[in-house]
Amino acid sequence: FGPPADEITRQLFDSPPTFRVQHITDVQGAEVCGALKNVIALGAGFVDGVGLGSNTKAALMRVGLKEMAKFCHMFFDGIQDDTFTESCGMADLITTCYGGRNRKCAEAFAKERMDDVKSGRVVSHDAKQCEALWSKIESDLLNGQKLQGTITSKDAYNLLSSRNILNEFPLIKSIHEISYQGKPVENIVEGITVVKSPHDFLHLTHASHL
Residue 146 bears catalytic tag: no
CB 77 within 8 A of CB 26: no
CB 133 within 8 A of CB 124: no
From the CA atom positions of the chain, what is the Rg in Å?
18
Helix and strand numbers, DSSP H then E, in the chain: 8, 0
Q: Catalytic: which of 37, 57, 66, 173?
A: 37
Count of residues making up the chain: 210
CB 160 within 8 A of CB 172: yes
* Strand partners for 19: 15
CB 44 within 8 A of CB 61: yes
What positions carry a catalytic annotation? 37
